[in-house]
Amino acid sequence: MFYKTLFFLLLSSSILIAQTDSGKANNSKFTQVTNNIYMYQSKGGNIGVVIGKDAIFMIDDQFADNIEDVVKDIKRISKNPIKFLVNTHMHGDHTGGNTYLAKKGVTIFSQENTRTGLEKMMRNRREEIRKTNSKNGKIEVTKPPKITLPQITFKEDLTFYFDNETIIIKHIPNAHTDGDVIVYFPKSNVIHTGDILFNKMYPNIDIKNGGSVEGVITALKDITMLANDDTKIIPGHGDLASLQDVKNSMYMLTFIYKRVMMYYRQNKSLEEIQAMNLTQKYDEKYTWEFIDGKKMVNIVYEDIKKQLGEVDTRTIEQRLQDKLKEAQKAKKKGN
Ligand SMILES: [Zn+2]
């Protein structure tokens, strides 16, 4: 037993060393991806930080309440000012720092649907708050949130020439949302995927904001075509990924999608499909705080329902009875 524990301790310390070797900088929130590209992890989506000769290019900015810490941490690896920011999509864990950064003079870019989506989200939130405030008789008035919108938008692709690095920002239609972009560094062989990839985690797909499961599968396939075995892939959530991780996510999602689709076409209800435990072989690896196998099936089911319409979950007997009732009603009307 003692030896087992000792072995375990040795193993875990070697893992720690390995992590440092593989590029975790002194501050454990950073993973050094290349000479000048870092991944920053704390609350919310993974941030990409590109250190240029005299400026910093940033991808996503987590939340309003931790952006000051993010900026402080970045200052520890470079004194250069942050000049450009790309929002990979509209979600609050990727755009929350916009207001703070815009005030510091950072120029914010996004695909145009991300800007529209952010605007709509703030409008809805204001409306909700207005309703609650009037219910409260103005005793407790909550202030509506304000997120600074991207100042520059684009429809399809955008290319940045940042020192020696060409940065290609590519719009992926209807994947995690309707405004996703991936950020590709051909020279450094790095891709930031935004939330198209949740590495070793079941993905959240925002069907209400134009996302689609098939779109995510296609997008993951596109990323596998862009990448090779040496590509460093910064996912929206989870640790630094490889081409194989992207493939694994794509196979997992395709497996679940095909099966849920088949059972949906057989008029199975969500609960019936969830009870089948289709995700069993993936659950251990991909379950996390917010999404387990059942929730994943739920997301896929909602997506298919949006495409194909409601399923008819009545039994044959119920259907016959309903038909009979309809016929009787029609007869009465006819009389
Ligand atoms: Zn997201």
Q: Is the dihedral of CA 172, 173, 176, 179 positive or negative?
A: positive
290 Ramachandran zone, left/alpha/beta (phi>0; psi -120 to 50): alpha
Q: Is the pLDDT of residue 125 over 70?
A: yes
Asked if residue 23 lies in contact with residue 156, where contact means CB atoms within 8 angstroms, the answer is no
Q: Is the pLDDT of residue 10 over 80?
A: no
- CA 195–ligand 1 middle distance (angstroms): 5
- CA 187–ligand 1 middle distance (angstroms): 27
Asked if residue 304 lies in contact with residue 264, where contact means CB atoms within 8 angstroms, the answer is yes
- CA 185–ligand 1 middle distance (angstroms): 21
What would the mean pLDDT of 118-138 be, rounded to a whole number? 82
Distance of CA 212 to the CA centre of its chain: 12
Q: Is the pLDDT of residue 22 over 50?
A: no
H or E stretch covering 327:
helix 316-334
DSSP state of 140: S
pLDDT at 13: 34
How, if at all, do strands 82-86 and 56-59 pair? parallel
Query: Distance from first CA to last CA of the chain, Å, rounded?
Result: 87
DSSP 3-state of 84: strand
pLDDT (tens digit per residue) in 150-161: 999 999 999 999
- CA 136–ligand 1 middle distance (angstroms): 32
- CA 50–ligand 1 middle distance (angstroms): 21
d(CA 98, CA 67): 9
- CA 164–ligand 1 middle distance (angstroms): 30
- CA 189–ligand 1 middle distance (angstroms): 24
- CA 33–ligand 1 middle distance (angstroms): 22
Residue 39: HSE in the Cβ half-sphere, 13 Å Cα cutoff: 26
pLDDT (tens digit per residue) in 234-292: 999 999 999 999 999 999 999 999 999 999 999 999 999 999 999 999 999 999 999 99
pLDDT (tens digit per residue) in 288-329: 999 999 999 999 999 999 999 887 777 778 888 888 898 888
Asked if residue 305 lies in contact with residue 260, where contact means CB atoms within 8 angstroms, the answer is no
Distance of CA 161 to the CA centre of its chain: 26
197: closest CA among 217, 212, 167?
217
What's the predicted TM-score (pTM) here?
A: 0.84
- Amino acid at the residue 162: F
Class of domain 2-257: alpha beta
The least confident of 19-33, 45-59, 203-217 is 19-33
Tokens at 22, concatenated: 């593989």
d(CA 172, CA 53): 30
- CA 324–ligand 1 middle distance (angstroms): 48
- CA 285–ligand 1 middle distance (angstroms): 20
- CA 88–ligand 1 middle distance (angstroms): 9
How, if at all, do strands 157-162 and 30-32 pair? unpaired
- CA 176–ligand 1 middle distance (angstroms): 7
